[in-house]
Each structure stands twice: as C-alpha cells, then as structure tokens.
C-alpha cells in the first residue's frame, strides 16, 4: 500500500477531495443527512465512505447509499487518472475526510471502532500520509 501515496501524493489527493466536495456538499445538504451526522448516527470511514454508527432508518440508508455511490464514482474517475486503484484512492480520500471532521462528529478509528472527534486531531490509520 505504500505505493498509494507515491502515485497520488498528498497534494493530489487533497485536490481531488476538494474537487469532489462541492458535489458532496450539495448532496449532503439533505436535512436527514445533516441531522444524522449531527446526532452521531453516521460518520466518515477510513475507506473513504460514510458509515452507520447505529442501524439507519430506511430513508437515511437511501440518502447515505446515494452519497456513497457518488463518492465511488468520483474515486473511480480520479483513480483512473492517477493510475491507482479505486480502493487506494478511496483510502487516501478517507484519511483526508476524517481529518476534516469537526468536534462532535463521528469517524472510524484505525481499529474500526467509531470515535467522536474532539478538539484534538483524529486518530489516524497507519496508511494515512
């Protein structure tokens, strides 16, 4: 996995995540998503996708699934351009998205457990740059 960041580079990954944020931010304005994120029901996962901290309602599941489908499409496009795999690209993006969480939001720690972001930096996966 070490070659992931050699291919993408942190700057390239940051630009790519920044490029996806306007579309993601627009989609994430859904009140159900915003409420679930604020309530700690969903959070950022190490693999670059949103995850469920607790079992979601069918309507929330539909919203999060749609966001994850959009993320995967962006990752696939950007990974192809960077000559990386979708998984490599998603992991790099996950590292950056977790680092962008704000206090009170949920994120997946390196061991897979759900953590609540404090004012301290989030716990980071050893594969993160």
- Could you identify the residue written with the tokens 């915003």? 34
Query: Is residue 43 in some structural domain?
Result: yes
Q: What is the pLDDT of residue 15?
A: 46
Q: DSSP code of 84?
A: -
Does residue 30 form part of some domain?
Answer: yes
Q: 17, 25 in Cβ contact below 8 A?
A: no
pLDDT reported for residue 129: 80
User: Is residue 128 one of the residues assigned to a domain?
Assistant: no
Would you state the pLDDT for residue 31? 87
Which residues are bridge partners to 42 per DSSP?
52
- Structurally, how many domains does the chain consist of? 1
Q: Please identify every stretch of the chain with a pLDDT value under 50, giving residue numbers as ranges.
A: 1-7, 10-11, 13-15, 18, 21-24, 26-27
What's the CA gap between 15 and 17, in Å, rounded? 5
Q: Residue 30: what pLDDT?
A: 79
pTM for this predicted structure? 0.79
Residue at 12 is within a domain: yes
Give the burial class of 89: count Cβ atoms within 10 A of its Cβ; 0-12 exposed, 13-18 middle, 19 or more buried: buried
pLDDT for residue 122: 96
Residue 122 within any structural domain of the chain: no
pLDDT per residue as tens digits for the range 69-97: 999 999 999 999 999 999 999 999 999 99
Domain span at 102: 3-116
């Amino acid at each position: 996995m070490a070659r992931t960041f050699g291919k993408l580079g942190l700057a390239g990954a940051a630009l790519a995540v920044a490029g996806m944020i306007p579309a993601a931010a627009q989609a994430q304005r859904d009140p159900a998503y915003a409420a679930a994120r604020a309530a700690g029901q969903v959070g950022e996962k190490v693999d670059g996708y949103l995850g469920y901290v607790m079992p979601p309602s069918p309507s929330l599941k539909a919203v999060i699934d749609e966001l994850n489908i959009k993320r995967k499409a962006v990752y696939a496009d950007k990974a192809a351009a960077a000559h990386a795999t979708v998984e490599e690209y998603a992991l790099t993006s996950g590292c950056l998205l977790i680092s962008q969480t704000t206090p009170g939001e949920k994120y997946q720690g390196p061991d897979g457990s759900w953590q609540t972001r404090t004012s301290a930096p989030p716990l980071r996966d050893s594969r993160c740059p």
